[in-house]
Amino acid sequence: MRAIRWMAVFGLCAAVTPLAALANDEAKGAFERTDFNADGKISFEEYRNRSVRVFNDLDANGDGRLTTDEQPPAKDAKGNPAVRGTVTIEAFSDSLLDHFEAADANKDGYLGIEEWSNVPKPGKKPAKQ
């Protein structure tokens, strides 16, 4: 059960964050929308705020949980439909720092546009650094 929950959380994180597969214009647009203070970099607070906002937008009934019917479709690393399960806002929020830190290649506490495109993909648990 715990493995299914982690896969659902990471699949959802990937759904709300830009991936390298996105077109450059889409990734740049998402980056600019997330960079609230327009300083050219994404702080953890900006990343968290965008991610939670997207979670809340997906949470159709406002119960703090995303059931499988509220989640966007996701694929695993092999391109197969990802195993999904209910994701709580708490589990989702707990995973955000791991994803942010895994993408922050230069460890400066911010994501530049290049790092923004390297947020962990669905089904991949970020490696602890």
pLDDT tens track for 15-33: 555 444 445 788 888 899 9
Q: How far apart are CA 27 and CA 33, in angstroms?
A: 10
Smallest CA-to-CA distance from 18 within 1, 9, 31, 5 is with 31
Q: Each residue of 86-125: pLDDT tens digit?
A: 999 999 998 899 889 999 999 999 999 989 887 765 445 5
Instruction: Work out whether strand 65-66 and strand 87-88 pair parallel, antiparallel, or are unpaired.
Output: antiparallel
Q: What is the pLDDT of residue 50?
A: 93
Domains of the chain with CATH codes? 2-116 (1.10.238.10)
Residue with tokens 């966007």: 72
Looking at the predicted structure, is the pLDDT value of residue 39 above 90? Answer: yes
**Nearest one of 111, 41, 123, 129 to 85, comparing CA atoms:** 123
Taking all residues of the chain, what is their mean pLDDT, rounded to a whole number?
80
* 119, 7 contact by CB (below 8 A): no
